[in-house]
A and B are shown apart, each in its own frame.
Chain A
Amino acid sequence: MSNVFVICELEDGKVVDVSLELLTKGRSLANELNCKLEAVVLGKDLKDIEKQIFPFGADVVHVGDDERLDPFTTLPHNAVIVELFKKEKPQICLLGATTMGRDLGPRISSELFSGLTADCTSLEIGPHTDKKAGKEYTDLLYQIRPAFGGNIVATIINPECRPQMATVREGVMKQEICDANYKGKVKTIDVASILKPEHLVVKVIERHMEKSKVNIKNAPIIVSGGYGMGSKDGFQLLYKLAEVLGAEVGASRAAVDAGYAEHERQVGQTGVTVRPKLYIACGISGQIQHTAGMEESSMVIAINNDPNAPINNVADYVITGDVNDIIPKLIKAYKKNTK
Chain B
Amino acid sequence: MGLKIIVLAKQVPDTRNVGKDAMKADGTVNRGALPAIFNPEDLNALEQALRLKDKYEGSTVSILTMGPGRAAEIIREGMYRGADGGILLTDRAFAGADTLATSYAIALAIKNMDYDLILAGRQAIDGDTAQVGPQVAEKLRIPQITYAESINSVEKKTVNVLRRLERGVETVESPLPCVVTVNGSAADCRPRNAKLLMKYKHAHTVTELQDSSEDYIDLTADRPYLKIKEVSAADVNADLNWTGLSGSPTKVKSIQNVVFQAKEARVLTADAYEIEELVKELIDNHTIG
Contact = CB atoms under 8 A, between A and B. Distances in A.
B184 A218 contact: yes
A117 B131 CA distance: 9
B35 interface: no
Contacts of B249: 109, 113-115, 158, 160-161
Interface string B70-114: 000000000000000000000000000011100100000000000
A34 interface: no
Given A110-B100, A201-B175, A325-B270, A75 B286 contact: no
A115 B173 contact: no
Given A103-B134, A118-B128, A147-B128, A74 B144 contact: yes
Contacts of A215: 184-185
A152 B29 contact: yes
Given A148-B31, A201-B175, A319-B269, A156 B250 contact: yes
B100 A113 contact: yes
B217 interface: no
Interface string B8-38: 0000010111110000000011010000000
A320 to B, nearest CB: 6
A209 B134 contact: no
Interface in A278-332: 278, 296, 298-299, 301-302, 307, 312-313, 315-322, 325-326, 329-330, 332
Q: How large is the interface on B (under 10, 10 to 19, 20 to 34, 35 or more residues)?
A: 35 or more
A287 to B, nearest CB: 18
B166 interface: yes
B170 A206 contact: yes
B79 to A, nearest CB: 26
Interface string B180-215: 000011000000000000000000000000000000
B144 A159 contact: no
A50 B251 CA distance: 35
Contact of A116 (B131, B165, B167, B171): B131
A153 B256 contact: yes
Interface of A is mostly: mixed
Contacts of B171: 204-207
Contacts, number: 252
B283 A150 contact: no
Contacts of B173: 202-203, 205
Contacts of B160: 205
The 6 closest A-B pairs by CB, nearest first: A149-B15, A321-B270, A115-B249, A115-B250, A161-B249, A110-B138
Given A155-B256, A202-B172, 16 more contacts: A107-B138, A110-B103, A110-B135, A114-B249, A152-B28, A155-B255, A202-B145, A204-B170, A208-B169, A210-B168, A218-B40, A275-B16, A277-B287, A302-B265, A317-B278, A332-B272
13 contacts: A71-B170, A109-B249, A118-B131, A119-B129, A147-B128, A150-B258, A156-B252, A278-B288, A296-B19, A299-B260, A301-B278, A333-B279, A333-B280
Interface of A: 71, 73-75, 78, 98-99, 102-103, 105-107, 109-111, 113-119, 121, 128, 142-143, 146-161, 172, 201-210, 212-213, 215, 218, 221, 245, 275, 277-278, 296, 298-299, 301-302, 307, 312-313, 315-322, 325-326, 329-330, 332-334, 336-338
Interface of B: 13, 15-19, 28-29, 31, 40, 98-100, 103, 125-135, 137-139, 143-147, 160, 163-175, 178, 184-185, 248-258, 260-261, 263-270, 272, 275-276, 278-280, 282-283, 286-289
